[in-house]
A and B are shown apart, each in its own frame.
Chain A
Amino acid sequence: MGPTAPREDELLDGPVAGLTPAQSARHLAGDIAFNDEIFTPETGLGPVFVANSCGSCHPGDGKGHPFTTLIRFGHTDSLGQNEFDHGFQIQNRAIPGYEPEQLPEGTPFAKFTPPSNSGLGYLELVSDEDILGMAAANAKNPDGVRGHPNWNLLPGYVTPRPNSRRQGDRYITRFGKKGSVYNLFHQTVVAYNQDMGITSTFDPSDVYTLKSIDPEVSDRKVRDVVFYLQTLKAPIQRNPDDPAVLRGQQLFVQTGCESCHKQTLKTGYSPVAALANTEFHPYTDLLLHNMGPGLDDGYTEGSAGGAEWRTPPLWGLGLAQNSQGGQVYLMHDGRARSIREAIRMHGGEAASIQKRFEEMPAASQADVIAFLKSL
């Protein structure tokens, strides 16, 4: 008489299989902090902000909706400094009595639609060596696909992993639309601070005054949220044996999509055994690619130019409408309203591959899209 549970492959939330009871408890603590904790002015929200909870932007741990789209602005100079002195992100909402930030006139900016959280722990465990290897392998790509990692400065609270590669004082960063974030801890601290206006001991700077204030979230809670993100399961492909899906997968590879959207990566060591030393299928190479003038917003992060975007993982793509209110808002700012439209927006390094897709028979295109929807 009660509702049955949705199939596991229809959900993006939930932990990776094989967590110990202690790890499950920690995942649950992070889940509560991520999805249930709503910040109010009394608990530190803002005073200027983008959203008042983590879950507001990532419903069901899936892709977010344009109503929580955030705006990054400015241009990083040769010293790695933003030309504006009030941060790099617009807090476009404010608690009552305050005015939200306005985009400085004439400033280059980009809108970022919140990404899915699924499988982030696997992506975090890809070695720098593998990322550099994927970039090197593109050197002679006949389609003109190249790609490079984002080399970026790290904030003081981020400790580089052992064996991290560096160029001077810069490290390979991999998370975010422009791949400018080093790891999930870095991402979590930035999101608390820039998205919600919540200070922590790691980043005590108030987004409104830019002065240090008392922490508004505990270290423990930040760490729990990081652990939660690290231990979210990878999306599960649906209908993998469907003939159309299988044909589409073959075409996806033949067409050259896999040059950037790598099917299989592998993790390195992790204290969480369930994540360690395993292959997974995210459909990304974690590299920045020039996507052409159509996607050049002029906004830069780290070593990512205005037209350069980190290859977004395609896993979970077919479930986007379950977290975006029955619609789909794809590409970095949600400008594409369908998978087909998103493919057509690929330019720059992907232009010849996109052209190849357009020249396919309609049935083949449908197979490719069926495959993408199965992810």
Chain B
Amino acid sequence: MRNKLLPVCLLVATSIFGQVPVDTTSNAKMDALFGRDTTLHTPKDEKMNLDAVYNRPFLRPGKLPISKGGYVEANTQYANTDGVSEGLSFQMRRMTIFMAATINRRIKFLTEIEFEDGTKEINIEFASVDFQFNSLLNLRTGILMNPIGSFNQNHDGPKWEFVDRPLSSTRIIPSTFSNVGFGLYGKKYTRNWVFAYECYLTNGFDNSIIANTQNRTFLPAAKVNPNRFEESFNGVPLVTLKAAVKRRKFGEIGLSWMGGVYNKFRDDGLVLDQRRRVDVWAVDFNTVLPGSRTYLNGEFVWARVDVPSTYSQQFGRRQQGGWLDVVQPVLRGRMLGWNTATLNVAARLERVDYNVGTFNETNENIYDEIWSVVPAISFRPSPTTVIRANYRYQWDTDILGNPPARTAIFQVGFSTYF
């Protein structure tokens, strides 16, 4: 049923938005950023989460046909769980390399290769060719990041005041979740509004989301399967749809859905199980409050997984969570010799409920949840570099609702584009 929504969605979007002329006035800004025409034609103040993948300060490699860049982030942390600490750790969280090429004025390629925890994980997170037919109709194909929520698309470390990625965006939504596939996206501008849509068909999840060593329904378990870049686990594409609207000088709100069959219900022509679906819905938003210039950014997610009724209740059929970041600049301008420095105070409040429901045996609540609050201070010597200090306090409650494990983590680190 939901698969049938795709062509309808495209038809409606096309009929509403129509064809618009290319916004050539914005090219100069994009040229400055990428060193060449990039075909997105999006003025800087109209950037949306959709644009995040190309909205990066790449280095300009002169006359080479490829522009390169990336970001790096590292930190130190001291964690204490219920009075027990493993001591001080130094972490090289990730180094990501971008390469982009404008093959033609309206054909471009970008890839993002990520090294996490040194070389513990090496992933091609993004490697897509974009063909622009007009601003409302672009074809993207290759390895792409499913646009569920905002963080999965807009996750570069230097953009955030927090060392850790948001919990619900990494434990319910499996950021950074990328898959092979293709789809369409586009944007429509009016005087004060920008509308955007994205529709993709990709490979998807697998049985591991309910059979993993986390002992809970865990969509990110599918990221471990390298075969998802080679073939679909079950032959049924994962559908991802996102619509977003932005009011200029106010903020953006996005609604997204990702769904499909996750299990191997047949193999070699034999029926192994019934088709079991996973569906994820997300709402994301961001805005800057006028006057105080307080930046608010948040995302809420709901997941529903068809877990066999005869399987362990350890694996939840419903999950939900969300996070809200508040970032308040307190000093701007010249500091310590940097001309465009900013000092921010920030806080994140986040929650993940891995298992929404009640026990069959007792009809009492199933817990398996996390609450966390993260106050932070960040210093940005330039907009592309952040030095940040975080203090995380987290409550992890087990599936039964026993007294939560309490964890405090001090983190100091940096992240910068290069």
**Footprint of B on A, CB under 8 Å?**
1-6, 37-38, 40-42, 45, 49, 51-53, 56, 59-60, 65-67, 69, 93-100, 322-327
Contacts and interface: CB of A to CB of B under 8 A. Distances in A.
A1 B393 CA distance: 9
Given A1-B391, A52-B312, A56-B314, A95 B83 contact: no
Interface of B: 80-85, 207-208, 210-215, 263, 272-273, 276, 308, 310-314, 359-362, 364, 367, 391, 398, 400-403, 406-408, 410
A113 to B, nearest CB: 10
B214 A38 contact: yes
A96 B273 contact: yes
B408 A3 contact: yes
B81 A3 contact: yes
Nearest to B403: A322
A321 B310 CA distance: 27
Given A3-B80, A3-B82, A96-B207, A67 B359 contact: yes
13 contacts: A2-B83, A2-B408, A5-B83, A38-B212, A51-B314, A65-B362, A66-B359, A93-B310, A93-B312, A94-B310, A96-B276, A97-B273, A327-B362
A3 B213 CA distance: 27
A208 to B, nearest CB: 13
Contact of A3 (B263, B406, B410): B406
Contact of B401 (A1, A69, A325): A325
Contacts of A325: 364, 367, 400-402
A37 B214 CA distance: 9
Given A5-B82, A40-B211, 4 more contacts: A2-B83, A56-B312, A93-B310, A96-B210
Contact of A51 (B85, B213, B312): B312
Nearest to A37: B213
Contacts of A98: 310
A60 B402 CA distance: 9
Contacts of B313: 67
Contact of B408 (A1, A38, A59, A60): A1
Contacts of B310: 93-94, 98-100
Q: Which of A3, A94, A327 has the most CB of B within 10 A?
A: A3
A97 B367 CA distance: 27
Contacts of B308: 94, 96
Contacts of A2: 80, 83, 85, 408
A327 B285 CA distance: 40
Contacts of B398: 59
B312 A3 contact: no
Contact of B400 (A38, A42, A53, A59): A59
Given A96-B276, A96-B308, A53 B80 contact: no
B212 A96 contact: no
Given A93-B312, A325-B401, A4 B273 contact: no
Nearest to B407: A3
Contacts of A1: 391, 408, 410
Contacts of B402: 59-60, 322-326
A220 to B, nearest CB: 19
Contact of B361 (A69, A93, A100): A69
A215 B335 CA distance: 65
Contacts of B207: 41, 96
Contacts of A49: 312
A15 to B, nearest CB: 14
A51 B406 CA distance: 26
Given A94-B311, A325-B367, A40 B212 contact: yes
Nearest to B394: A3
